[in-house]
Chain A
Amino acid sequence: MRQDLTHIQQWIKPGSRVLDLACGDGEFLARLQAERDVKGIGLEIDAGSISAGIARGLNIIEQNLDRGLDNFRDDSFDTVVMAHALQAVRYPHLVLDEMLRIGRECIVTFPNFGQWRCRLYLGSRGRMPVSKFMPYTWYDTPNIHFCTVRDFESLCQERAIRILQRDMVGPANNGGVLAKAWPNLFATTAIYHISR
């Protein structure tokens, strides 16, 4: 499982209700259901992933986050999770608002575009970074709203979003020490536990 998901798991209380936005094939929800006995629902738009999630025995709803989440009631989930999708939605700030309305707590993870490799790539080559981790070219990428750790925290401040905890994932080879010390420069993935 992706490293950010392993980190998130500890923040989810056993037996709680979890809404997973852009849940993919449901690997994370399945693990939460098996290990933490959560009652989970996943939203997804990719046809293959939806079938895979349903085949795992999960509750998967085909729903596009860009069309809103107004079918979910206020405070109807303990935790709303969105892993690696913030950068792919049309209005990230509005999705965050909706997540915080629906869930008492939220967990968001995103790739940190301020990481030194991105800066170096853009700075030295003058072109949008393409890597194994972010393999798309600028014109066909689903990732339309890249941000940095600092960008995200400033958005939280503007919208009075409370950051309960944060965790940073760095490249596998340095144990994440640098990522935790200087996240905006060294974290590849940022993980935030937030609430209203």
Chain B
Amino acid sequence: MYSADTKDSVGLVTPQRAEFPEGLTLACGRRLPKFELVYETYGELNADASNAVLVCHALSGHHHAAGYHNETDRKPGWWESCIGPGKAIDTNHFFVVSLNNLGGCHGSTGPLSVDPDSGEEYGPDFPPLRARDWVHSQAMLADRLGIPSWAAVIGGSLGGMQAMRWALEYPDRVRHCVVIAAALKLSAQNIAFNEIARQAITSDPAFHGGRYRQHQAVPRDGLAIARMVGHITYLSDDAMADRFGRDLRSGNLALGSDEGVEFQVQSYLRHQGSTFSESFDANTYILMTRALDYFDLAREYGDDPVAAFAEASASFLVMSFSTDWRFSPSRSREIVDALLAAGKSVSYAEIQADQGHDAFLLPIPRYVEVFSAYMQRVRGA
């Protein structure tokens, strides 16, 4: 809950909007004739613009990473645990930029936007995106904000993958790269989970081939199932056992009772699913999961991550979480090993945490300690 007295929050923030009438040619070869990005900033840009940090969001994230939009906001931004005065990304020192990725559904140009060529919403016809498209659009935003190079580009999960792509696409614009719970590319299992999510959405009768808005419909059930599947993969077995166990929300399992039974975990998942289906666009979810599936850092470098990282001049911090099975520590070690073989500056910490992939969003003491220690180095450099 927002409170004006809170000293470790950036407090009230207002999203901003940047228009790019010059458009952008995408990795797929198609061109967006113009686009907009919605973003927030926290802290103050210093005189030589040397304290700017870019935060890249994950699959279902957005620009609202820290603080509150108004006094009645119940929840702060999604990375409140790490961004704010005195926190790992210390807004007393850093100027933090957090944006909604291109293709998103929280204000930046995406499937919900009107295609200037047709005068209709893009919907399912929005061009497919790659992480590099996000990076290029973010570079245009950096130009707009007068930021020649980032002190650090930071991200967890898909955001970490964008951060690595930044280090390769713009080596002279990234001084430090913080890659949390990410991977060089998705595994078959990761892609499989994303495919279940997409199938859930596209097989919802309300999906209408992606033109649900023309039918005044929302594929809520499909989106909810997609989110439920995703959510399970973000938690560890232990985290679910701790939080829900086999506790019942209603009914009982005693012999002789035919009362319907609902486990706590069922109710939790349904709540997660339905909340998500009210706030997220189905076409964006399909677009984002595809971008994640297609990501392969080393593809254009002869499938050799060492050759890929040879392009980078940033220093890296890589972190993983012991119970993360979606982007497991061994995926992070592949990143570290490639960086070592490429002779790059890299630190790595594997954080013991029960919370699975979601751990990167939580204030786990050792995680925050390592992150803060590294950000001190970013400050000093």
Task: List residues of chain A with CB under 8 Å of any chain B CB.
Answer: 41, 47, 50-55, 57-63, 71-73, 76
User: Closest CB of chain A to B364's CB: distance in Å?
Assistant: 12
> With a CB–CB cut-off of 8 A, which chain B residues contact A54?
317, 347, 349, 370, 373-374, 377
> With a CB–CB cut-off of 8 A, which chain A residues contact B315?
59
Q: By DSSP majority rule, is chain B's interface helix, strand, loop, or mixed?
A: helix
Selected A-B contacts with CB under 8 Å, 26 pairs: A41-B340, A50-B370, A51-B369, A53-B347, A54-B347, A54-B374, A55-B373, A55-B376, A57-B380, A58-B347, A59-B315, A59-B345, A59-B346, A59-B347, A60-B348, A61-B346, A61-B347, A61-B348, A62-B348, A62-B350, A63-B348, A71-B333, A71-B337, A71-B340, A72-B340, A76-B341
> With a CB–CB cut-off of 8 A, which chain B residues contact A57?
377, 380
CA–CA, A161 to B178, complex, Å? Answer: 40
Which residue of chain B lies nearest to A72 when distances are taken between CB atoms in the complex?
B340
Which residue of chain B lies nearest to A44 when distances are taken between CB atoms in the complex?
B349
User: Closest CB of chain A to B333's CB: distance in Å?
Assistant: 7
> With a CB–CB cut-off of 8 A, which chain B residues contact A60?
347-349
CA–CA, A63 to B346, complex, Å? Answer: 13
> With a CB–CB cut-off of 8 A, which chain B residues contact A58?
347
CA–CA, A41 to B346, complex, Å? Answer: 8
B144 interfacial contact with A, CB 8 Å: no
Give the A-B contact count at a CB cut-off of 8 A. 52
User: Closest CB of chain B to A135's CB: distance in Å?
Assistant: 26
Q: Across the A-B interface, give the 8 residue pairs with the lowest CB-CB distance, nearest first.
A: A55-B373, A71-B337, A54-B373, A61-B348, A57-B377, A51-B369, A51-B373, A62-B349
Query: How many B residues face the partner with a CB closer than 8 A?
Result: 22
> With a CB–CB cut-off of 8 A, which chain A residues contact B347?
53-54, 58-61
Is the beta-carbon distance between A73 and B341 smaller than 8 angstroms? Answer: yes
Known: A57-B377, A61-B347. Contact between A51 and B340, CB under 8 A?
no
CB contact list, B337-381 vs A, under 8 A: 337, 340-341, 343, 345-350, 366, 369-370, 373-374, 376-377, 380
CA–CA, A51 to B377, complex, Å? Answer: 12
Between A50, A54, A71, the greatest number of chain B beta carbons within 10 A of the residue's beta carbon is seen for A54
Is the beta-carbon distance between A51 and B370 smaller than 8 angstroms? Answer: yes
Is the beta-carbon distance between A61 and B336 smaller than 8 angstroms? Answer: yes
> With a CB–CB cut-off of 8 A, which chain B residues contact A51?
349, 366, 369-370, 373
CA–CA, A54 to B368, complex, Å? Answer: 13
User: Closest CB of chain A to B221's CB: distance in Å?
Assistant: 43
Which residue of chain A lies nearest to B370 when distances are taken between CB atoms in the complex?
A51
Which residue of chain A lies nearest to B374 when distances are taken between CB atoms in the complex?
A54
> With a CB–CB cut-off of 8 A, which chain B residues contact A76?
340-341, 343
> With a CB–CB cut-off of 8 A, which chain A residues contact B380?
57
> With a CB–CB cut-off of 8 A, which chain A residues contact B343?
76
Which residue of chain B lies nearest to A50 when distances are taken between CB atoms in the complex?
B349
Is the beta-carbon distance between A61 and B340 smaller than 8 angstroms? Answer: yes
CA–CA, A60 to B369, complex, Å? Answer: 14
User: Closest CB of chain A to B61's CB: distance in Å?
Assistant: 26
User: Closest CB of chain A to B332's CB: distance in Å?
Assistant: 10
Mark B213-255 against chain A: 1 for CB-CB distance below 8 A, else 0.
0000000000000000000000000000000000000000000
CA–CA, A58 to B377, complex, Å? Answer: 9
Which residue of chain A lies nearest to B366 when distances are taken between CB atoms in the complex?
A47
> With a CB–CB cut-off of 8 A, which chain A residues contact B341?
71, 73, 76
